[in-house]
Amino acid sequence: MSANPASAGSALSRRKFLAPLALAQFICSFAGSNMNVMINDITHDLDTSVTGVQATITLFLLIMAVLMIPCSKLSDRWGRKRCFTGGLVLYGIGALLSALSPGLGVLILGNSVLEGIGTALLIPPVYILTTLRFGELTSRARAFGVISGLGGIGAAAGPLIGGLITTAISWRAAFVFQAAVVATIVVLSRRIEDPIAADPTRPFDTTGAVLSAVGMFFVVFGILQADNNVVLMAALLVAGAAVLLWFFLHIRAEERAGKEPLLSTGLFKNRTSNLGLATQNIQWLLLMGTSFVVAVFLQTVRGYNAIETGVIFTAATLGVLTSSLGAERFARRRAQRTLIIAGFVVTMVGIGLLLALVGASSRVVAFAPGLLLVGLGLGVMLTPSVNLVQSSFPERLQGEISGLSRSVSNLGSSFGTAIAGTILISELASGNTPYVIAMIVLGCLALVGLAAAILLPIEPAPRGTPVGHEPANALEAAAGRG
């Protein structure tokens, strides 16, 4: 069902096709970071704590991560367009409920639960529909450049837009803004057609869905306990690892019995995809972790308000925007591996500047050079990582790999907020020290991402040819051997 550039329609039709999908990725990424600058306002208004707001943000990202794979499989059963629209409606209801929340509990229900479930439903169709529509490397790079670019911009600009709205009106108005954008997306997406008919008879692996969700929940929740109870943290991490192992054994047993599991084990036999998923996870960990650490530090230690904190993130937004706009040009001139490596190197230099300048100057502008480079680095590699993973599999596996890819990315966002946030919040009264420790941890994780990028295959895909064919054959051969 993949189309070549000629059959994909005119430039105008491509823009109409991509606009609602890219906006959907924008608003979901925006939701994950815009609350960072509202922390003081929300804690005072709802009589809660920084830890409570951090838990709300992390829970939103976690619910997205744990439900992304099951919801991706459901898109095959219910239809990609239907899941996309249903997710938007659920998200919009959650945003309005968050705007009206009288306390932290209702905010968690609206923002973390309803918006989280809605996002898990609507995001996999974004990537499945795009992959099916664009079958050639550079055209797909252009499409993913728009989508991933707006996703990165949403995450980077979240603090700026959230700060402007919070200062001018109220933090509640930021959720009304989200609902308005969602309503716009619903209108724009009316003409999107699902290229593959829904299959209501498609089996759904409920046991696998429960095991994967529980395992990932335990892992992230365990990290959040680091500053409270080390023993509980260790127990939760071990329990999470055990459940995830159980999940893998379950899907392998389902395959051997001739049944359709939640995920095909063949997805984990593709070395290129595995390394690409690792880079995706760490990219979003760095983006969300840096955003949370800098935003909380500026508000709680330096005493900046929402707008002052948000404005400084303009540098990161400009960085992501600049590099994302060049995604198509970069894809024509450089191998995807090269772009990912370069992105991690630039990001690490940015983290180094954020560390070096925090003690050199008390002015907020000292954070601009580091955030600009972090934005540039992440913008360069977001698109090639997504393209690399999605293009490694045939159309029949796009539902599964899209869910796995988005789950891994959102899990990275959860890890970033949980790991860096836990380090920072545990010793906020210690001045610059917790900030420095959190940024050093992020820098070390960036090194891990760089190592994964270096291990990616050197040979680029042939220019101007459909992507996904050879890896698909390799996958099918591996599955056949199994």
What does the pLDDT average to over 396-412?
A: 74
Q: Which of 167-181, 201-215, 332-346 has the highest mean pLDDT?
A: 167-181
Q: Is the dihedral of CA 30, 104, 223, 239 positive or negative?
A: negative
Cβ(293)–Cβ(36) under 8 Å? no
Number of Cβ within 10 Å of residue 195's Cβ equals 15
What integer pLDDT is reported at residue 384 of this predicted model?
Answer: 84
| Phi, psi (degrees; rounded to nearest 5) at 144 | -65, -30
What integer pLDDT is reported at residue 118 of this predicted model?
Answer: 94
What does the pLDDT average to over 208-236?
A: 82
Q: Can you give the residue ranges of every domain in the chain?
A: 17-195+262-476, 205-261
Mean pLDDT of the chain: 81
CATH architecture of 17-195+262-476: Up-down Bundle (1.20)
Residue 149 confidence (pLDDT) above 70:
yes
What integer pLDDT is reported at residue 307 of this predicted model?
Answer: 78
**Rounded to an integer, what is the distance from CA 384 to the centroid of its chain?**
14
What does the pLDDT average to over 344-357?
A: 93
Number of Cβ within 10 Å of residue 197's Cβ equals 7
Amino acid at 269: K
What integer pLDDT is reported at residue 210 of this predicted model?
Answer: 92
Task: Indicate the SS3 state at residue 204.
Answer: coil
What integer pLDDT is reported at residue 115 of this predicted model?
Answer: 94
Packed helices 314-325 and 368-390: angle between N→C axes, nearest 10 degrees: 40
For residue 283, the surrounding DSSP H or E stretch is: helix 271-300
- The DSSP 8-state label assigned to residue 394 in this structure reads -
CA distance 462 to 456: 16
CA distance 305 to 323: 29
- List C-alpha distances in Å: 52 to 39, 42, 295, 309: 9, 10, 16, 20
Cβ(55)–Cβ(42) under 8 Å? no
Total count of residues recorded for the chain: 482
Residue 58 confidence (pLDDT) above 70:
yes
Structure tokens at 480: 């056949």
Closest CA to 291 of 439, 185, 166: 439
What's the number of CA atoms in the CB half-sphere (13 Å) around residue 416?
32
What does the pLDDT average to over 382-405?
A: 76
What integer pLDDT is reported at residue 351 of this predicted model?
Answer: 94
CA angle, corner 367, sides to 363 and 371, nearest 5? Answer: 165
- The DSSP 8-state label assigned to residue 111 in this structure reads I
Indicate the pLDDT class of residue 353, thresholds 50, 70 and 90: very high
pTM: 0.73
Q: Which residues pair with 136 in a beta bridge?
A: 466
Q: Write the CB contacts of 453 (distance below 8 Å, at least 6 apart in sequence).
A: 275, 279, 337, 340, 341, 343, 344, 381
Query: 229, exposed or middle or buried, with CB in 10 Å at 0-12, 13-18, 19+?
Result: exposed
Amino acid at 115: E
Cβ(468)–Cβ(137) under 8 Å? no
Q: If you write DSSP's letter for every residue of 138-193 in order, what string do you get?
A: HHHHHHHHHHHHHHHHHHHHHHHHHHHHHHHT-HHHHHHHHHHHHHHHHHHGGG--
Task: Indicate the SS3 state at residue 60.
Answer: helix
| Phi, psi (degrees; rounded to nearest 5) at 83 | -65, -40
